[in-house]
Chain A
């Protein structure tokens, strides 16, 4: 087993680092590391920067713009970007819709959508969850009825992240209500958000920020050419997508950056006795435990990668990365908030004090609350444990 990076991999890491130093504008980086909200333009701008370098979608086949990197190189790249403080790549197009199109799409669909996704021309969102169908996704009810060369879609999606920015949505819809098994009769449709009959209603979360939405479909007409894979085979597509790209869900690079940031904050802020908070035994121990957990996750991830380097496919163990990765992200937000103590209580910077730090402190409690989502979305951590119990333990 090799948990160290090879000389070639290290050289690759240095190349990525060097490029990031020039490509990532300091002002943009500052916004990211200070947890400021990024605009649609800032998110897609970074996508374009990567596209210009040819690094927007390393995991795609080379004919569509992929890089032919090894799994380890892809991991290095993602972690270096996160550690440097790049904006996150919006995953819905690049990492979700595109792999589906590459695997199941027609040549026409690939040519139509992939280059635009690569360049960040279209903003995509994901229409999966419904009010009655969360963990039990296959019970979804949004109906698509075939009428000639169109589907007519009626129903509702919920928790649709950034739908208010989106040009397109990929949806799981029910095309057949007569089937016995709920997993059958589901289809995967691509829908232009400008189609008449679509209403997006923001669903503010506890930090008050617009992020997720409800999306309503009222007799929305979708050309049949926007069906991906066969009608009624949408669940196959959904399962493929769920199993895709589980590496990276640990978000280790981002957590490493935030851990370094937390330590810097703790060295600067006063503890209860006036000495730096980093010298407060209880706080320091909490940070240390988090650092150790993060290290354990990183090595575990490297171990999985090493197995993949040897050509072994990764199994349900990857779900461990999601569970531990999100727990670590949540604990980071909690420790950052608690570092500031009562100063983390204001919702907005009062503006009477020392500027940036005050504005930063005022974001931390909201962020702590918002990050509870990470153990809920993408298959809740309970569902991840169900999968592990079934697949890894045979229970």
Chain B
């Protein structure tokens, strides 16, 4: 495992952080949240110009073929700045196109993702599944003109912002069975798609998507080859989870820095409250959480890449990702709660970034499988 970031990664992360500091500061972000779209086209095109969208795309799609580990700095920077743009959503959906799609689908979509022209999302979660990935009930039926979808996908992150969604749906079997799950590409403006948009608790644009006789294109051969769809989905969810872990590490870093600054400057009883040993120890525990979280995000991303190269097994990848998500969900919980508590009432005020960071960390606890889910998965793989 290499812990040193190479020069290119460092330069990219530095210029990204610089841009975010100047253009995605707290007040600027509030203006973005207040806009109708709830996201920024300027930010997105800047990310594309910086090469962030091309970075993880394959070379044949004008990309740089970067792995998850190469994206850690980017995700941390996004976490610190609480970026609401559909970067991770696009990457996860594009990964499914890359790994499960046909040559034609790859050629059609991935260069457009690399250039920043196409934004994508994964429509997977449903009401009946909680965190169980194989429990989906949405159906795909083959007719004379190809496949159509029936079902409702809940909390599709960034759906209002994207052109295409990758949808997990069942060609056979019952909720709980992995083998009947296939992946489909659906244009957001396709017939029979009803979107109910809203914002998430942490201000990300999201929507529920209802499919009714919606024409859908199977990704590659996932509709014909039993198990192929779920294997690709499982891998992409791990990829997304590992990158979300890196994002959480960035948000934790901000929470810790803001809290440290606050307890050093906030005076009560004539002294900075950071002079009280009981608060010092709690700040130290937050630091420990961050260090451990960082290590586990690195491990998860590294294992994602190693498994993609075939140098470790899929189970090793799963174990590392679940271990990381357990640790990081717990770190996110503890740090977000302590950051608010140490800020006192100010920690809850909408007008301070720390309360937004609390919400983002809470959402990251719940998304991509919570600690209980990954603990069970880890135990099952031991």
Instruction: Tell me if A272 counts as interface (CB < 8 A to partner B).
Output: yes
Which residues of chain A in 337-395 are interfacial with respect to chain B, using CB atoms and an 8 Å cutoff? Answer: 337-338, 341-354, 365-366, 368-370, 372-373, 375-377, 380-382, 385
Instruction: Tell me if A204 counts as interface (CB < 8 A to partner B).
Output: yes
Nearest chain B CB to A368's CB is how many angstroms away? Answer: 7
Contacts of A192 in B (CB 8 A): none
Q: Do A342 and B201 touch (CB < 8 A)?
A: no
CA of A316 to CA of B353, assembled, Å: 36
In the complex formed, the residue of B with least CB distance to A346 is B198
Contacts of A376 in B (CB 8 A): 340-341, 344-345, 347-348
A5-13, A162-170, A240-248, A276-284: which lies at the interface: A276-284
Q: Which of B344, B359, B373 contacts A135 (CB 8 A)?
A: B344
From known contacts A346-B200, A346-B206, infer whether A373 and B348 are also in contact, taking CB-CB under 8 Å: yes
CA of A343 to CA of B152, assembled, Å: 13
Nearest chain B CB to A339's CB is how many angstroms away? Answer: 9
CA of A349 to CA of B152, assembled, Å: 15
Q: Do B131 and A350 touch (CB < 8 A)?
A: no
Q: Do B359 and A369 touch (CB < 8 A)?
A: yes
Q: Do B349 and A203 touch (CB < 8 A)?
A: yes
Q: Do A345 and B344 touch (CB < 8 A)?
A: no
Instruction: Tell me if B135 counts as interface (CB < 8 A to partner A).
Output: yes
CA of A208 to CA of B356, assembled, Å: 11
Contacts of B132 in A (CB 8 A): 270-274
Q: Do B278 and A382 touch (CB < 8 A)?
A: yes
Which residues of chain B in 64-113 are interfacial with respect to chain A, using CB atoms and an 8 Å cutoff? Answer: none
Which residues of chain B in 125-175 are interfacial with respect to chain A, using CB atoms and an 8 Å cutoff? Answer: 125, 127-132, 135, 152, 154-155, 175
Q: Do B269 and A372 touch (CB < 8 A)?
A: no
Which residues of chain A in 26-64 are interfacial with respect to chain B, using CB atoms and an 8 Å cutoff? Answer: none
Q: Do B373 and A346 touch (CB < 8 A)?
A: no
Q: Do B372 and A280 touch (CB < 8 A)?
A: yes
Q: Do A129 and B345 touch (CB < 8 A)?
A: yes
Contacts of A345 in B (CB 8 A): 155, 200-202, 206, 363, 366-367
Q: Do B268 and A341 touch (CB < 8 A)?
A: no
Instruction: Tell me if B355 counts as interface (CB < 8 A to partner A).
Output: yes
Instruction: Tell me if A15 counts as interface (CB < 8 A to partner B).
Output: no
Over the window 245-287 of chain B, the binary record of Cβ atoms lying under 8 Å from chain A Cβ atoms (1 yes, 0 no) is 0000000000000000000000111100100001100000000
Instruction: Tell me if B334 counts as interface (CB < 8 A to partner A).
Output: no
From known contacts A337-B366, A365-B362, infer whether A272 and B129 are also in contact, taking CB-CB under 8 Å: yes
Contacts of A350 in B (CB 8 A): 196-198, 207-208
Nearest chain B CB to A389's CB is how many angstroms away? Answer: 10
Nearest chain B CB to A121's CB is how many angstroms away? Answer: 30
Q: Do A274 and B200 touch (CB < 8 A)?
A: no
In the complex formed, the residue of A with least CB distance to B343 is A376
Instruction: Tell me if B376 counts as interface (CB < 8 A to partner A).
Output: yes
Contacts of A341 in B (CB 8 A): 130-131, 366, 370
Instruction: Tell me if B375 counts as interface (CB < 8 A to partner A).
Output: yes
Nearest chain B CB to A33's CB is how many angstroms away? Answer: 21
Instruction: Tell me if B176 counts as interface (CB < 8 A to partner A).
Output: yes
CA of A385 to CA of B367, assembled, Å: 35
Contacts of B366 in A (CB 8 A): 337-338, 341-342, 344-345, 365
From known contacts A277-B130, A353-B208, A366-B201, infer whether A206 and B350 are also in contact, taking CB-CB under 8 Å: yes
CA of A79 to CA of B198, assembled, Å: 38
Instruction: Tell me if A115 counts as interface (CB < 8 A to partner B).
Output: no
Contacts of A370 in B (CB 8 A): 348
Q: Do B345 and A134 touch (CB < 8 A)?
A: yes
Q: Do A343 and B194 touch (CB < 8 A)?
A: no
CA of A343 to CA of B206, assembled, Å: 12
In the complex formed, the residue of B with least CB distance to A357 is B127
Contacts of B194 in A (CB 8 A): 352
Instruction: Tell me if A159 counts as interface (CB < 8 A to partner B).
Output: yes
Instruction: Tell me if A158 counts as interface (CB < 8 A to partner B).
Output: yes
Instruction: Tell me if B184 counts as interface (CB < 8 A to partner A).
Output: no
Instruction: Tell me if A14 counts as interface (CB < 8 A to partner B).
Output: no
Q: Do A352 and B208 touch (CB < 8 A)?
A: yes
Contacts of A3 in B (CB 8 A): none
CA of A350 to CA of B156, assembled, Å: 12
Most chain B CB within a 10 A radius of its CB, from A158, A351, A365, A377? A365
In the complex formed, the residue of B with least CB distance to A337 is B366
Instruction: Tell me if A307 counts as interface (CB < 8 A to partner B).
Output: no
Q: Which of B125, B127, B200, B372 contacts A353 (CB 8 A)?
A: B127
In the complex formed, the residue of A with least CB distance to B268 is A136
Nearest chain B CB to A135's CB is how many angstroms away? Answer: 5
Most chain B CB within a 10 A radius of its CB, from A341, A377, A382? A341
Nearest chain A CB to B45's CB is how many angstroms away? Answer: 27
Instruction: Tell me if A205 counts as interface (CB < 8 A to partner B).
Output: yes
In the complex, besides A272-B373, A273-B176, A338-B372, 16 extra interface pairs with C-beta distance below 8 angstroms are: A135-B269, A135-B273, A205-B355, A270-B130, A272-B131, A272-B376, A341-B366, A342-B154, A342-B367, A343-B127, A345-B202, A346-B201, A348-B198, A352-B208, A365-B362, A385-B278
- What are 13 inter-chain pairs, A to B, with CB distance below 8 A? A135-B268, A136-B269, A282-B375, A345-B366, A348-B198, A350-B196, A368-B362, A370-B348, A372-B348, A372-B358, A376-B344, A381-B341, A382-B278
Residues of A within 8 A of B (CB): 129, 132-136, 139, 158-159, 203-206, 208, 212, 269-274, 277, 280, 282-283, 286, 337-338, 341-354, 365-366, 368-370, 372-373, 375-377, 380-382, 385
